[in-house]
Amino acid sequence: MSEPSPMQRDLTLLVKPAGADCPLSCSYCFYRSTGPRGGRMTDDGLRLLISEALSTAQRVNFVWQGGEPALMGRAFYERAVELQQQLAQPGQAVSNALQTSGVGLDSGWTEVLRQGEFLVGLSIDGDQALHEANRGPSWERAIATARWLFEAELPVNALSVVSAGGEHTATARYEALRALGFEHLQFLPVVDPDPDDPGRPGPNSVDPSAWAAFLLELWEVWWPEHRTVSVRNFDELLASYVGSPPVTCTTAERCGGYLVVEHDGGLHRCDFLVEPDRPIARLGDRPLVQVLNSPVQRALGDSKAQLPEDCTTCPWLPRCRGGCPYHRREGGRSHLCEAYRAVFEGLDPTLRELALKVRPARPPRRNEPCPCGSGLRYKRCCATLPGAPPR
């Protein structure tokens, strides 16, 4: 009999219990054309998913998404939470996130979201006109969901998708989402390949210089509230300056740290690499830890680290890590490279100062790495800034 695999510390699974099915038809949704349609995760599939995940890691994060995961109905998530509670070992940490358009949820979901400690990522692009330009008539339902989530004091993030032509709307989006009461915001640029020429950007992709202008404008409008409002894009920038682990896989050194689970138990490498008929494995075939360490999954991680010379010689490499491999275009650089450079150049001095304010309790010594994450020794880096901790 083979030995059980040792437990990992962390595991994140993106679970798509209803595949690509969704009541909306957002114009920029890539999963509409790549994901599977018409399937639903069964109760046996759900049990297998949860038991496999909980025998893999000490801390397991289930991210329920799609398509629209709320199509599964409330009872599915009540069952998921019940199974998580039944199968978790003492001391094991289980968390849940639900990424939803808000259509299909109502206040009857309050109890299950509370019990499962769900973080809700609500897709809402801004005011009604901005939102419905790409998502169709769904804004009223989305804000109704936001309102009862706020009333129930459940944690909720606004996910605002920015596609081509929307890069001039930073202030309008920020103000609309703040007026609705959101305190946690994330702005997601669309970067997709041209279907006829994958080396070139697709029609929905943001323009890199306009995306840089979006972020710099967003910074200006957010800064007066930076102590109370979280913008994930800026949390991600700051993480590399304070030496924290990356907030998303985009700025990690390697990819391949999570798996996608489709409704039929098919396992896939990444959200952008789901091939419905060609999973890399299936739930229950072998331990998840073996799938995570399989040659095909490791190759994805290696591919992120294989960077063009422009990146390996670039001073911003520790900040962006070359971005997501899915965003790379002709020449190997990210479609967003120009935006990365402009934003880092514009915000670098401020981010270094900010990093010092959230520095570790003990001040760094002269020859230690600077806590701003520059990769330089402290005496050569932020020590020269006003207000730097003593050397």
* Closest distance to ligand SF4 from the beta carbon of 277 (Å): 20
Kindly tell me which of 14 and 355 has the beta carbon lying closer to ligand SF4: 14
Name the one range near ligand SF4 by CB under 6 A: 119-127, 168-176, 260-268, 316-324. 316-324
Burial of 214 (0-12, 13-18, 19+ CB in 10 A): buried
Exposed (0-12), middle (13-18) or buried (19+): which is 105, by Cβ within 10 Å? buried
Query: Near ligand SF4 by CB under 6 A, which window of 47-55, 86-94, 233-241, 315-323?
Result: 315-323
Q: Which is nearer to ligand SF4, 263 or 319 (CB)?
A: 319
> Which residue, 85 or 306, is less far from ligand SF4 as judged by CB?
306
Cα distance between residue 134 and residue 304, in whole Å:
31
In angstroms, give the least distance from the CB of 250 to ligand SF4.
5
375 cis-preceded (ω within 30 degrees of 0): no
Site string for ligand SF4, 244-263 (x = CB under 6 A): -----xx----x--------
Neighbours of 156 (CB within 10 A): 24
CB 298 within 8 A of CB 306: no
Choose which of 121, 202, 323, 371 interacts with ligand SF4 (CB under 6 A): 323
Q: Is 325 in the site for ligand SF4 (CB under 6 A)?
A: yes
Joined tokens for residue 69: 């995961």
Q: Which pair of tokens denotes residue 338? A: 């120009």
Residue nearest to ligand SF4 (CB): 255
- Only one of the segments 28-36, 86-94, 164-172, 270-278 lies at the binding site for ligand SF4 (rule: CB under 6 A); that segment is 270-278
CB of 93 to ligand SF4, least distance (A): 22
Among 264, 310, 348, 353, binds ligand SF4 (CB under 6 A): 310
| Tally of CA atoms within 13 A in the half-sphere of 167 that contains its CB | 19
H or E element at residue 298: helix 295-305
Residue whose CB is less far from ligand SF4, 155 or 318: 318
Residue pair 187/233 in contact (Cβ under 8 Å)? The answer is yes
- How far is Cα 113 from Cα 144, in angstroms, rounded to an integer? 16
- Among positions 12-71, residues that touch ligand SF4 (CB under 6 A) are none
Touching ligand SF4, residues 155-214 (CB under 6 A):
none
**Residues touching ligand SF4, count (CB under 6 A):** 23
Nearer to ligand SF4, 133 or 273 (CB): 273
- Contact between residue 167 and residue 207 where contact means Cβ atoms under 8 Å apart: yes
Closest CB to ligand SF4 among residues 77, 340:
340
CB of 280 to ligand SF4, least distance (A): 13
Give min distance, CB of 184 to ligand SF4, in A. Answer: 21
Rule CB under 6 A: choose which of 340, 373, 374, 383 binds ligand SF4.
Answer: 340
Pick 48 or 249: Cβ nearer ligand SF4: 249
Q: Out of 320, 343, 370, 372, name the contact with ligand SF4 by CB under 6 A.
A: 320
Q: How far is CA 73 from the centre of its chain?
A: 24
Which is it for strands 197-201 and 57-64: parallel, antiparallel or unpaired? unpaired
> CA 195, 36, 248, 318 torsion: positive or negative?
negative
| CB closer to ligand SF4, 352 vs 359 | 352
Residue with tokens 């880092």: 344
Cα angle, residue 182 at apex, residues 60 and 118 outer, rounded to 5°: 20
Stretch near ligand SF4 under the rule CB under 6 A, chosen from 77-85, 142-150, 324-332, 361-369: 324-332
Residues near ligand SF4 (CB under 6 A): 249-250, 255, 270-272, 304, 310-311, 314, 316-317, 320, 322-326, 333-334, 337, 340-341
